[in-house]
Amino acid sequence: MDFRRLRLTGFKSFVEPCELRIEPGLTGVVGPNGCGKSNLLEAIRWVMGEGSPKSLRSGAMDDVIFAGTARRPSRDFADVTLALDNHARTAPAAFNDSDAIEVVRRIERGAGSAYRINGREARARDVQLLFADNATGAHSPALVSQGRIGAIVAANPVERRALLEEAAGIAGLHVRRKEAEIRLRAAEANLLRLDDVMKGMEAQAASLRRQARMAVRYGELSDRIRVAEGALLHARWQAASVASDAARGEAAGAEARVADLTREAARLATVSAEAGAALPALREVEARAAAGLQHLVQQRSGLAAELARVEARRRELDAQAAAGARDRAREVALAADARAALARIRDERARLDEALEAARASLPELAAAVQEIESRAAAGEAALSAAIEAHARATAQARAAEAAVQAAEARLGRTQSEAARLTAEREALARVPDGGPQRDAAQAALDRAGSEIAAATQALALADAGRSAATTARDAAQGAAAVARGSLAALTAERDALVRVLSAARTGGETLLDRLTVQPGFEAALVAALGDDLSAGV
């Protein structure tokens, strides 16, 4: 394998791409000191895998990149390409598939070096083995530099041995042997770690065997414990049977004590009868409780009224929402009607022109009809006022009836509470000996309360009947008012239509529609905005 071409770009003093052809025979480079002759040799060593900056006369590996001058900027990368002739097929098997081999080493400032062999990425070790198999390399004695001859002459046996190995062509085998030794040492280390892992696994297996034995022992002890628990439960059952017999005997004694306690209860009942003297104080307490109950009943009535108002407000809001939905549907229908009306207006305009002359002829009759409709509208307004007044009276009567019903219900509640209290007192007095006068007075008060209840019930029935009549009258007044409003609206609409017709006839038949010019596409919008006013006279 022979060197054929060396190409440098940005390497030390070679800022521009420079190519050195190495022809068969002897190739020499002649030039003055400082022209870069040594840089060529260092470029060859660098592309063959040199890793020591000192061997390249640099402080760091990035120093091989062109550092710039006063007139030229520095470069950020450098690469060297070495072309090899492989017609003899002496390259390693991995690279022996082509007649030429191209080795490229590229370095970027701050990013390190990268190698490529025939366009494929490679390691530095692969490049070094490629040249070592061909008895050369970055540290080969064949690369003779200044002072190198004296170093070879004064070399020690180890250095001479390396020289002889390279001359014999076994330097690559030596390098591979070192790699094999490194791999063997790594394998030995892995075997040692595997032994440690196996020992740890054996310890775990021994621990698991101990745990298995303990589990078997635990099962045996569990069986014994279950047997012992069964015996203990049997013993407890026998003890419970004995305790049950003892409890039966104690129950018989307890029944005897119950008989004694019954006699004691009879004696205490006598004492309780004597305690009836404290009844007035208890009645006073009951009266205070009744007053508190009445206050709570009044509060409940107020809350019920508030609930009724809230329900009425909710129904009103629901009605408003439904009315809004109806209004929206009506607006949508009006828009559709407006579009249809525009078409009808266009068709009817010709007919209206023909009818204009007839309308002018009937002008006196229309004026008379307007006066008649105005008089009917005045009569309708009077009827509406009367219906509104009747509705107001019916509403006032309904409210008065509601108040009477509420008052009757409150009176009935108070009377029923008093009757219940008197009934309880009568029953208490019936149990008290020598309570005849007080019992008779309570009976008389109870009879009076019954009479008041009957009167209150009758008043409540009358109030309900009055409220029903007032509600009927109010509904009738509302219906009359609605009818009067509908009649008044119809008369007003008819009057307005006649007035517009009269106005159009008086102005010569020219309407607002005649004065307007509408752009195509906006006819529906005009009809929706003005509606019937389009036919108004100007």
Residues 419-435: tens digit of each pLDDT: 677 677 666 666 655 54
The dihedral sign for the CA sequence 491, 497, 500, 506: negative
Nearest-angstrom CA–CA distance, 361 and 530: 28
pLDDT confidence of residue 179: 77
Compute the CA torsion angle 41, 43, 44, 46 (nearest 10 deg).
120
Q: 527 or 178, which is more confident? A: 178
The answer on pLDDT for 257 being more than 60 is yes
pLDDT of 69 over the 80 cut: yes
Rounded Cα distance between 40 and 147, Å, is 17
Q: Work out the pLDDT band at 62, boundaries 50, 70, 90.
A: confident
- Token readout for 383 is 């009827």
Q: Rounded distance, CA 104 to CA 7, Å? A: 9
What's residue 144's pLDDT? 61
Q: What is the pLDDT of residues 503-523, one digit of tens each?
A: 655 555 566 666 777 787 777
- Report the amino acid identity of residue 369: A
Contacts of residue 110, defined as CB under 8 A and 6 or more positions apart, other chains included, come to 62
Kindly report, residue by residue over 288-308, the tens digit of the pLDDT: 766 767 777 787 777 778 778
* pTM assigned to the model: 0.34
- pLDDT at 51 exceeding the cut of 70: yes
* Spatial separation of the C-alpha atoms in residues 299 and 296, rounded to whole Å: 5
pLDDT per residue over 387-407, tens digit each? 677 667 767 766 776 776 677
Number of other residues whose CB lies within 10 A of the CB of residue 482: 13
Question: 55 pLDDT band (50/70/90 cuts)?
Answer: confident
pLDDT for the residue 106: 92
DSSP 310: H
Which two three-digit tokens encode residue 500?
A: 């517009």
pLDDT (0 to 100) of residue 278: 64
| pLDDT surpassing 80 at residue 448 | no
pLDDT in tens, 114-132: 999 888 888 888 787 777 7
Identify any residues that bridge with 114 across adjacent strands, giving them in sequence order: 106
Confidence check: pLDDT of 134 > 80? no
Residue 21 has pLDDT above 80, yes or no: yes
Contact 85, 99 (CB under 8 A): yes
How does residue 79 score in pLDDT terms, banded at 50, 70 and 90? very high
Helices 124-132, 171-274: axis angle to 10 degrees equals 160
Cβ(446)–Cβ(421) under 8 Å?
Answer: no
Look up tokens 């609409």; give the residue: 493
What integer is the mean pLDDT of 363-382? 68
Dist. CA 360–CA 505, nearest whole Å: 6
Neighbour tally for 366: CB within 10 Å: 16
Cα 287 to its chain centre, rounded Å, is 61
Least confident window among 24-33, 71-80, 202-211: 24-33
At 170, the pLDDT band (50, 70, 90 cuts) reads low
**What would the two tokens of residue 328 be?**
């929206």
DSSP, residue by residue, 354-386 = HHHHHHHHTHHHHHHHHHHHHHHHHHHHHHHHH
Measured distance CA(175)–CA(20) in Å, rounded: 30
Which tokens is 234 given? Answer: 């049997």
Q: Which two tokens mark 301?
A: 């009535």
CA 170 to chain centre: 73
* Res. 222: pLDDT tops 60: yes
Structure tokens of 395? 């509403």
Output Rg (C-alpha) for the chain, integer angstroms: 62
Average pLDDT, whole number, for the chain?
Answer: 75
Q: Please report, as a single letter, which amino acid is at residue 252.
A: A
Name the pLDDT band for 471 (thresholds 50, 70, 90).
confident
Q: What is the token pair recorded at 506?
A: 């008086």
The confidence band for 408, taking pLDDT boundaries of 50, 70 and 90, is: low
Of the candidates 507, 492, 227, 255, which has an alpha carbon nearest to the alpha carbon of residue 360?
Answer: 507
Which residues lie across from 7 on neighbouring strands? Answer: 19, 81
Query: Does the pLDDT of residue 135 top 80, yes or no?
Result: no
Per-residue pLDDT at 530:
72
CA 360 to chain centroid:
73
Greater pLDDT, 502 or 152: 152
**Whether the predicted pLDDT of 363 surpasses 70:** no
Residue where the block lists tokens 């009943």 = 297
Percent of the chain past pLDDT 90, that is, above it, reads 2
How confident is the model at residue 498, as a pLDDT? 59
Give the pLDDT of residue 244. 82
Sign of torsion over alpha carbons 490, 493, 496, 498: negative
Beta strands 18-21; 2-9: pairing state: antiparallel
SS3 label, residue 293:
helix
List 121's β-bridge partners, or say none.
116
Question: Three-state SS for 188?
Answer: helix
Quote the pLDDT of residue 81. Answer: 92
376, pLDDT greater than 80: no
For position 165, what pLDDT does the model report?
A: 66
Which phi and psi angles does 78 have, rounded to 5°?
Answer: -150, 145
Sign, Cα dihedral of 387, 390, 396, 402: negative
